[in-house]
Amino acid sequence: MTAPERTTTAETRTYRALSSQVRTRLLELLRAEPDLDAGTLATHLGLHVNTVRTHLNVLEEAGLVRPVVEERDRPGRPRLLYRVVEQPDEDAATGDTDGYRFLAGVLASYLGATSEDPEAAAEQAGTAWGRFVVDTPAPFSTVAPEAAVRRLVDMLEEFGFDPELDDRDPAAPRLLLRRCPFLDVAREHQTVVCSVHLGLMRGVLDEMGVEVEAQDLIPWAEPDVCISHLQVPAP
């Protein structure tokens, strides 16, 4: 049996790119001042330059920015600068986002009405997709707990949760999710949506084969913030 092919449409790439507040801010900066390099953008945002490069790659794959080589009349390696690719169909991209949310609402309401245990069914679905969206480690290799947590944070950033890792207690770090990509749906179907998101995190961690556990997902534990408590084994 062959594994299902993982395809990503242009609409999905655009949706994922625009779901991140960091990438939205990058677009705003480049619209205001074109031809900036990754280092300058990192300084503006207060982020590491490698983090900014990762976000720029996502924007480039979605066709929202394009790199150009700096024209130089002096010695030295030319810098790679970035410009916004103005999209004539930006309104259509917004419509696609609305379509995703509408579909999510349909599926959440159906699951809540037809399943004997909507919470368990939603978490199971999220876990399956969490296993699917993360790269499986190579055979006989191990993933350090810290690396697994970082990969989880990156995945949540990619899907638009605007996560922040509070790791002041390394054995019990917290994930602060400052944005819900499906907030409108979650307000009406909180149990289903939050269970999917918890399952998504657990699936990612399970697929990497680490002992890190996402213990819970508490919606709106603080104003406009959902919190997940992680458990990390001692070194």
**72-83, pLDDT tens digit by residue?**
666 667 788 999
The better pLDDT of the pair 120, 113 is held by 120
DSSP assignment, residue 45?
H
Question: Contact 124/111 with Cβ under 8 angstroms?
Answer: no
Q: What is the pTM of this model?
A: 0.62
How far is Cα 156 from Cα 135, in angstroms, rounded to an integer?
Answer: 14
pLDDT tens digit sequence for 23-78: 889 999 999 998 999 999 999 999 888 889 888 988 888 889 998 988 766 666 77
Fold held by 10-84:
Arc Repressor Mutant, subunit A (1.10.10)
In sequence order, the β-bridge partners of residue 213 are 231
Alpha-helix residue ranges (DSSP H) falling in 81-117: 90-114
Domain boundaries, the chain: 10-84, 90-231
pLDDT tens digit sequence for 156-166: 887 888 899 99
Q: Give domain 90-231's CATH number out of 3.40.50.620, 3.40.50.300, 3.40.1710.10, 3.30.1380.20.
A: 3.30.1380.20
Q: Would you call 137 exposed, middle or buried from its count of C-beta atoms within 10 A (0-12, 13-18, 19+)? A: middle
The better pLDDT of the pair 205, 80 is held by 205
Q: pLDDT category, 99, cuts 50, 70, 90?
A: low
* Residue 194: predicted pLDDT: 94
């191990």: which residue's tokens? 142
pLDDT at 178 over 50: yes
* Residue 8: predicted pLDDT: 46
pLDDT at 181 over 60: yes
Percent of the chain at pLDDT > 70 equals: 84
Question: Contact 146/153 with Cβ under 8 angstroms?
Answer: no
* Residue 88: predicted pLDDT: 42
How far is Cα 155 from Cα 174, in angstroms, rounded to an integer?
Answer: 16
